[in-house]
């Protein structure tokens, strides 16, 4: 299949299709930014044999009325996005073993309602 | 289809050494089924087969005629087996680990249960299953 990532193992190869890679990246990005995986658009590109990711996603804003003392130092939207970008890069590399050239995060919107959590 | 000629001449009673007393034939479908069943115990393998195979598999399962070799394709050449495998992995497990575990399980099952030697197992991860999403609808289940 075109666009798949292939790794050679001792007795055969491991192939990750573009669909599997896209879904995994959207799940990682959704976790990092507090949105649903279905709201995240992922583009995979080849950068001289390495994997280049572009993620288009909304971000979940922190509540404005939160207690200032709880707020982490880097809680601006830009800081959170940069942290998410690093998280995506690290987690995707760990989970897939892919050699990642770069991750571009484009925020396409903002959500205010806190996520519903089961736990 | 492959045939194995068991070497029983050494402890056969009346026959001269090396004379076989029949042949054992193991059909490819048996090898594929053994491989498919071995996958059920592998952590991180959510489903086996491509999209069309899984859709057909859901129907087969509903009428209780599950195809255990779904998503597994074997090529037997003499005593050697090559396996092609297509799976859906569970998020968030490392995909290489899931693929390697699936390969190990299949090699163990075929080499111990069938007695053929596995030359290679090529694993394709064709999708990732996200626990938050109800199957393929994209909806988040309500708490």
Which candidate from A12, A19, A95 shows the least CB-CB separation from B121? Answer: A12
DSSP, collapsed to helix, strand or coil, labels residue A84 as helix
Q: Measuring CA to CA, how many Å separate A65 from each of A68, A109, A118?
A: 8, 20, 23
Predicted TM-score of the model (pTM): 0.80
Domain for residue B18, yes or no?
no
Residue B107 belongs to a domain? yes
CA dihedral sign of residues B9, B10, B11, B16: positive
Residue B13 reports pLDDT greater than 60: no
The reply to whether residue A19 touches residue B127, judged by beta carbons under 8 angstroms, is yes
In a domain, B124, yes or no: yes
Taking an 8 Å cut-off on Cβ atoms, the answer to whether A17 and B126 are in contact is yes
User: pLDDT higher for B33 or A112?
Assistant: B33
Q: Residue A77: is the preceding peptide bond cis (ω within 30°)?
A: no
Q: Domain of B116? A: 46-131
Residues 6+ apart with CB under 8 A from B63: none
Q: Is B26 exposed, middle or buried (0-12, 13-18, 19+ CB in 10 A)?
A: middle
> At B50, is the pLDDT very low, low, confident or very high (cuts 50, 70, 90)?
confident
DSSP class of A42: E
Backbone angles phi, psi at B4, to 5 degrees: -115, 130
Angle at B63 between CA B57 and CA B64, to 5 degrees: 80
In a domain, B10, yes or no: no
CB contact under 8 A, B125 and A28: no
Q: Give pLDDT, residue A68.
A: 59
Lowest mean pLDDT among A81-95, B7-21, B105-119: B7-21
Positive or negative CA dihedral for B2, B35, B69, B85?
negative
Higher pLDDT, B59 or B109: B109
Inside any domain, residue B138: no
Q: Residue B134: pLDDT above 70?
A: no
Concatenating the DSSP letter of every residue in B60-129 gives HHHTT---TTTTEEEEEETTEEEEEEEEEEETTS-HHHHHHHHHHHHHHHIIIII-PEEEEEEEEEEEEE
Using CB atoms within 10 A of its CB, is residue A6 exposed (0-12), middle (13-18) or buried (19+)?
exposed
Which is more confident, A65 or A1?
A65
Highest mean pLDDT among A8-12, A27-31, A108-112: A27-31
In a domain, B40, yes or no: no
Number of structural domains in chain B: 1
- Helices A77-96 and A18-33 sit at what angle, rounded to 10 degrees? 140
Residue of B nearest to A25 (CA): B128
CATH number at residue B109: 3.30.300
Q: What is the ipTM of this complex?
A: 0.81
- Residue pLDDT, tens place only, B72-94: 999 999 899 999 999 999 999 99
Is B74 inside a domain boundary?
A: yes
Q: What pLDDT band is residue A116 in, cutting at 50, 70 and 90?
A: low
Q: What average pLDDT does chain B have?
A: 84
Using a CB-CB cut-off of 8 Å, the residues of chain A touching B107 are 11
Asked whether residue B52 is domain-assigned, the answer is: yes
Distance of CA A64 to the CA centre of its chain: 25
State residue B5's pLDDT score: 60
Give residues 61 to 80 of A whose Cβ lies within 8 Å of B.
Answer: none
Q: Is residue B35 exposed (0-12), middle (13-18) or buried (19+ Cβ within 10 Å)?
A: buried
How many other CB atoms sit within 10 Å of the CB of residue B37?
Answer: 16
- Is any Cβ of chain B less than 8 angstroms from the Cβ of A18? no
The pLDDT tens digits of the residues spanning A70-99 come to 555 567 888 999 999 999 999 999 999 999
Q: What is the DSSP letter of B13?
A: S
Q: Which chain B residue has its CA at the smallest distance from A18's CA?
A: B126
Domains by residue range for chain A, with CATH: 5-111 (3.30.300)
pLDDT tier at A23 (50, 70, 90 boundaries)? Answer: very high
Q: Which residues of B touch A88 (CB under 8 A)?
A: none
């Amino acid at each position: 299949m075109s666009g798949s990532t292939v790794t050679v193992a001792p007795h055969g190869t491991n192939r990750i299709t573009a669909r599997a890679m896209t879904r995994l990246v959207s799940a990682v990005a959704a976790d990092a930014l507090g949105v649903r995986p279905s709201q995240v658009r992922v583009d995979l590109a080849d950068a001289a044999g390495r994997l280049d990711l572009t993620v288009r996603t909304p971000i979940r804003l922190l509540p404005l009325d939160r207690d200032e003392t709880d707020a982490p130092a880097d809680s601006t939207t830009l800081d959170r996005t940069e942290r998410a970008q690093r998280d995506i890069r690290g987690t995707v590399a760990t989970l897939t073993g892919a050699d990642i050239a770069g991750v571009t995060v484009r925020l396409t919107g903002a959500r205010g309602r806190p996520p519903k959590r089961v736990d | 289809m492959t045939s194995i000629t068991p070497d029983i001449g050494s402890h056969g009673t009346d026959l001269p050494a090396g004379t076989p007393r029949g042949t054992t034939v193991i059909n490819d479908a048996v090898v594929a089924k053994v491989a498919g069943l071995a996958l059920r115990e592998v952590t991180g393998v959510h489903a086996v087969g491509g999209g069309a195979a899984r859709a057909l598999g859901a129907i087969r399962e509903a009428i209780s005629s599950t195809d255990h070799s779904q998503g597994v394709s074997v090529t037997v050449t003499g005593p050697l087996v090559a396996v092609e495998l297509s799976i859906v992995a569970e998020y968030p497990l490392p995909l290489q680990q899931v693929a390697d575990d699936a390969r190990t399980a299949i090699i163990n099952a075929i080499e111990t249960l069938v007695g053929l030697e596995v030359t290679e197992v090529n694993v394709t991860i064709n999708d990732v299953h996200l626990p938050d999403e109800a199957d393929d609808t994209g909806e988040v289940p309500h708490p």
